[in-house]
């Protein structure tokens, strides 16, 4: 039968996470529909119809769905699921919030945060904070799945799916949206950033972190630090990446002047691409870096800033 992918959006823009989710779904080799639930979300439906590999876009456009709260969207998805074998959403806070509720309504398990599709009913997902990978087989006829989007490339956008309105409306009398406060900082938060540049003890002092910030501004990156840099008092504790700090997995992680002790690696080794810049070519960080540059960071950083 078929796959229903839940669109991630804000009523105006289809979020890129949807593209990674569709790509994961496409590995099941079944027809794919996207469901857009929202209010005044026709623009999103249009964008969804352009996603490669998608046949149909279902649009449930109603004021009741404006904030995509789980109570009624889960009911809607569960109802629509009767026509599908798979219900799949991105493992974002929205997907994580809604999909388990759908699964329970359907009396099936949810397979959370898959990073690989093994077969029609078998998936790989990280457990223990990514320190192990479990291979899980679903025994339910209907499969409800969330996808770790960083594990899948984005689908293309050269498709032309048909858009079909869906008139089902479930009211939500149980919960109510009060307000939303989206962070508009100049730099993304460490745990949400797609690019992170971190400094270690090699930075020498706190002032030198401005060299990293300049590069970060060019890349839209967050700035992190190793425990050694925090312990040396260069930067505050909340910038620490590592075992006892934040665990991050951006698309690009640039480690500058960080030797790369295992405690630091534990916090960033799941990054997609790792760059190491260090003058000590024996530094352990080079053993896990995709790109290593053995050089003096005080020469590299200004040059990097100018080339970006």
Partner 1 sequence: MKVLVTVKRVIDYNVKIRVKPDGSDVDLTNVKMAVNPFCEIAVEEAVRLKEKGIASEIVVVSVGGSEAQEQLRTALALGADRAILVESTANTESLNVAKLLAKVVEQEQPSLVIMGKQAIDSDNNQTGQMLAALCDMPQATFASEVSVADNSVTVTREIDGGLQTLSLQLPAIVTTDLRLNEPRYASLPNIMKAKCKPLATVTPDDLGVTLSAHTQLLGVNPPPQRSAGVKVKSVAELVDKLKNEAKVI
Partner 2 sequence: MEFDVVIVGAGPAGLSAAYHLKKLANDKQQDISVCVLEKGSEVGAHILSGAILETTALDELIPDWQEKGAPLTTPVTEDALYLLKDQQRATKVPGWAIPAPMHNNGNYIVSLGNVCRWLATQAEAIGVEIFPGFAAAEIAYDDNGRVKGVYTGDMGISKDGEQKDSYMPGMALYGKYTLFAEGCRGHLGKQLISQFKLDENSDPQHYGIGIKELWEIDPALHKSGLVVHGSGWPLDNDTTGGFFLYHADNNQVVVGLIVDLNYSNPHISPFDEFQQMKHHPLFADVLSTGKRLSYGARAIAKGGLNALPDMAFPGGLLIGCDAGTLNFAKIKGTHTAMKSGMIAAENVLNALIQDGQSGQDGQDNLPDTLTGFTDAFRDSWLHKELHASRNFGPAMHKFGPIMGGAYNWIEQNLFKGRLPWTLHDTKPDYAQMKPASECPEKHYPKPDGKLSFDKLSSVYLSNTNHEEDQPSHLRLLDPAIPVKVNLAKYNEPAQRYCPAGVYEIVEAESGPQLQINAQNCVHCKTCDIKDPSQNICWVPPEGTGGPNYPNM
- Pick between residue 75 and residue 269 the one whose CB is nearest to partner 2: 269
- Interaction of residue 266 with partner 2, rule CB under 8 A: yes
Contact 247, 269 (CB under 8 A): no
- Rounded to 5 degrees, what angle do the CA atoms 131, 288, 192 make? 60
Q: Does 268 bind partner 2 (CB under 8 A)?
A: no
Among partner 2, partner 1, none, the one that 237 touches (CB under a kind-dependent 5 to 8 A) is partner 2
The number of angstroms, rounded, from the C-alpha of 41 to the middle of its chain's C-alpha atoms is 22
Name which of 244, 210, 213 is nearest 227 in CA terms: 244
- Least gap, CB of 298 to partner 1 (angstroms): 12
Stretch in the footprint of partner 2 (CB under 8 A) among 55-63, 125-133, 208-216, 237-245:
237-245
Q: Which is nearer to partner 2, 200 or 250 (CB)?
A: 200
Using CB distances below 5 to 8 A depending on partner kind, what does residue 2 bind out of partner 2, partner 1, none? Answer: none
262 binds partner 2 per the rule CB under 8 A: yes
- Min dist CB 261 to partner 2, Å, is 4
Please choose which of partner 2, partner 1, none residue 282 contacts, taking the beta carbon within 5 to 8 angstroms, the exact cut-off set by kind. partner 2
Q: Which does 154 bind (CB under 5 to 8 A by kind): partner 2, partner 1, none?
A: none
Instruction: Name the minimum Å distance from CB 56 to partner 1.
Output: 26
The CB-based long-range contact list for 124-130 (8 Å cut-off, 24+ gap) reads: 129/247, 130/247, 130/249, 130/270
Query: Which residues are within 8 A (CB) of 8 and not within 5 positions of it... i.e. 6 or more apart?
Result: 14, 15, 17, 18, 21, 89, 90, 92, 94, 95
- Considering the complex, state which of residue 90 and residue 161 has its C-beta at the smaller distance from partner 1: 90
Q: Which of 231, 238, 280, 299 binds partner 2 (CB under 8 A)?
A: 231
Q: How far is the CB of 196 from partner 2 (least distance, A)?
A: 21
Rule CB under 8 A: choose which of 43, 261, 293, 294 binds partner 2: 261
How far apart CA 141 and CA 183 sit, in angstroms, is 40
Q: What is the 3-state secondary structure (H, E, C) of 1-19?
A: CCEEEECCECCCCECCHHH
At 226, list the tokens: 């190793």
**C-beta of 31 vs 284, nearer to partner 1:** 284
Alpha-carbon span 141 to 260, nearest angstrom: 46
Give the residue with the Cβ less far from partner 1, 21 or 94: 94
Q: Are 293 and 271 in contact (CB under 8 A)?
A: no
**Does the footprint of partner 2 cover residue 97 (CB under 8 A)?**
no
Residue 168 has which token pair? 């089902």
Binding site for partner 2 (CB under 8 A): 201, 204-205, 227, 231-232, 237, 243-244, 261-263, 266, 282, 284
């Amino acid at each position: 039968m078929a796959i229903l992918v839940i669109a991630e959006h804000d009523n105006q823009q289809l979020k890129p996470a949807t593209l990674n989710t569709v790509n994961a779904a496409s590995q099941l080799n079944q027809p794919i529909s996207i469901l857009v639930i929202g209010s005044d979300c026709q623009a999103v439906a249009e964008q969804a119809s352009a996603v490669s590999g998608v046949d149909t876009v279902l649009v449930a456009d109603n004021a009741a769905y404006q904030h995509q709260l789980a109570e009624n969207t889960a009911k809607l998805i569960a109802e629509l699921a009767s026509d599908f074998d798979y219900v799949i959403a991105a493992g974002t806070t929205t997907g994580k919030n809604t999909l388990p509720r759908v699964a329970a309504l359907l009396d099936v398990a949810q397979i959370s945060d898959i990073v690989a599709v093994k077969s029609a009913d078998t998936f790989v997902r990280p457990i223990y904070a990514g320190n192990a990978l479990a291979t899980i087989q679903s025994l339910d006829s209907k499969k409800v799945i969330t996808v770790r989007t960083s594990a899948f490339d984005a689908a293309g956008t050269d498709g032309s799916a048909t858009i079909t309105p869906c008139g089902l409306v479930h009211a939500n009398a149980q919960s109510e949206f009060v307000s939303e406060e989206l962070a508009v900082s100049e730099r993304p938060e460490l745990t949400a950033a797609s690019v992170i540049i971190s400094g270690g003890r090699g930075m020498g002092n706190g002032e030198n972190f401005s060299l990293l910030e300049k590069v970060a501004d060019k890349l839209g990156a967050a700035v992190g630090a190793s425990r050694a840099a925090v312990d040396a008092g260069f930067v505050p504790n909340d910038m620490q990446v590592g075992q006892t700090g934040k665990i991050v997995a951006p698309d690009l992680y640039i480690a500058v002047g960080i030797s790369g002790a295992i405690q630091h690696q534990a916090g960033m080794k799941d990054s997609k691409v790792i760059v190491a810049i260090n003058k000590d070519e024996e530094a352990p960080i080079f053993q896990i870096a995709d790109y290593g540059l053995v050089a003096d960071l005080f020469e590299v950083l200004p040059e990097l800033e100018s080339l970006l």
